[in-house]
Structure 1
Amino acid sequence: MSRHYHSEHHRNDRIGWLRASVLGANDGIISTACLMLGVAAANADRSELLVAGVAALVAGAMSMAAGEYVSVSSQSDTEQADLERERVELRDQPAAEQRELASIYTARGVAPELAMQVAQQLMAHDALSAHARDELGIHDTSAAQPVQAAIASALTFSAGAALPLVTALIAPPSMLIASLTATSLLFLIALGMLAAKAGGAPLLRAAVRVGFWGALAMGVTAGIGKLFGTVV
């Protein structure tokens, strides 16, 4: 008799890299486009605009990588400290830890006797993994990976920042600000929809959210650049 298993495909294994990648590309587009629009609004020429854009790309990529590495490393340190404490408790108080694990399953609706059996069997197989998953909420798919997050953030920021730079390089001088604004908004909306598609979220909501905040950021920056250019 053959057995057929129901296969399900979930997207939570993408959360780590998807978050870092989307955040990096989104920041790359917005921060570089905003800086270049502010400089352009202050009556800078194309060469000055490109210098500002390249500086924004390099500085932003390094900042994103360093910030993401430090942030995720802190999360990793916390997870490792919690796991070490759990190892000690499992070594010194295995019975109490088994009851604790069983109580977690009971709170989720499992009958007390069955919960104790499940806890006993899981701990016999891999006690630390069982407690890490069900007590601490640490899963393989969501565990902190500092180097991966830093590299993804730096690369995706650079990719995002390159888009306004290319626009500034090829756009006619008379259409520079309009071209930067329109293409950057288009890139942002496309990125938001791509991320929503990968994560299984509504496309329209993501597009509107990213487009609105991107337009607001660019509008404010261009306005300040225009004011600064007029005053100076």
Structure 2
Amino acid sequence: MAQQTDFTIPSPETKSAEENFDHSQRGQWLRAAVLGANDGLVSVASLMMGVGAVKHDVRAMILTGFAGLVAGACSMAIGEYVSVSSQLDIEVSHLKRIETINKESENERLPNPMTAAAASAVAFILGALVPLLAASFIVDHKVRLGVVVAAVTVALVVFGWIGAFLGRTPIAKSCFRVLVGGWMAMTITFGLTKLVGSTTL
């Protein structure tokens, strides 16, 4: 006797829940996390490349990267907290002026400053760890710079893909955008630092 296949048809409630999912709620912390990860990756890698343009000492590169990690994570967290707090104040004031809005459901959509700050700081640290770890175990200077660029390139593509996937945006466009931006930041920082270092030091 043939086994009967059970075809489960999604209920109208399930379809409605999927179709009506508010991606803007996810976007509140996703924006901060993606921005923090990319900023940590690009800024710390660019700092390390800049130092690497004039100094061959791996210790100088690592210390510069670590200082950039700590300072950047603190700056991103504080900046996101202040920014999202201001946004929250504006939206709360707007809700108070509109008496007909269902405040209970609307409060779920309000931005959360602490969530944004934490997501930004943690993501910045994760992004900054990529060039730091890539450079930590390479003795040869030129190889070390190449490994940092390669590791950052892969991480930029991964972060671009994650951001596009979670935000339901075009993946190729997102990856290309963050990749080109990261390459430009590292190239400009390396070139200008090498120019200044060769003329003043």
Same fold judged by TM-score > 0.5?
yes
Deviations 1:48-99 (A, max 9, x none): 111101100000000000000000000111112122223xxx4xxxxxxxxx
Q: Which has the higher contact order (CA 8 A, sep 6+)?
A: 1
1:128 aligns with 2:114: no
2:54 aligned partner: 42
1:153 aligned partner: 120
Deviations 1:27-66 (A, max 9, x none): 0000000000000001241011111011000000000000
1:56 aligned partner: 68
> Which segments of structure 1 move beyond 4 Å, counting only runs of 4 or more?
none
1:36–1:52: 8 Å Cα contact kept in structure 2? yes
Gapped runs of 5+ residues in structure 2?
Answer: 1-9
2:58–2:139: 8 Å Cα contact kept in structure 1? no
1:184 aligned partner: 152
3-state SS of the aligned residue for 1:214?
A: helix
3-state SS of the aligned residue for 2:102?
A: helix
Q: Partners in 2 of 1:27 and 1:229 — Cα distance? A: 25
1:73 aligned partner: 85
Gapped runs of 5+ residues in structure 1?
Answer: 91-126
Change (3 A) 1:43 1:21: same
1:227 aligned partner: 195
Change (3 A) 1:226 1:75: same
1:21 Cα deviation (Å)? 0.8
What TM-score, normalized to structure 2? 0.85
2:32 aligned partner: 20
1:41–1:177: 8 Å Cα contact kept in structure 2? no
Change (3 A) 1:193 1:4: closer
1:42–1:227: 8 Å Cα contact kept in structure 2? no
Change (3 A) 1:4 1:159: closer
Change (3 A) 1:164 1:74: same
1:43–1:229: 8 Å Cα contact kept in structure 2? no
Q: Partners in 2 of 1:175 and 1:220 — Cα distance? A: 20
* Equivalent residue for 1:210, pick from 169, 174, 178: 178
Rg comparison, structure with higher value: 1
State which drifts further: 197-206 or 153-162: 197-206
Identity %: 38
3-state SS of the aligned residue for 1:227?
A: helix
Aligned residues: 185
Q: Partners in 2 of 1:7 and 1:171 — Cα distance? A: 52
CA RMSD of aligned residues (A): 2.0
1:120 aligned partner: none
1:11–1:200: 8 Å Cα contact kept in structure 2? no
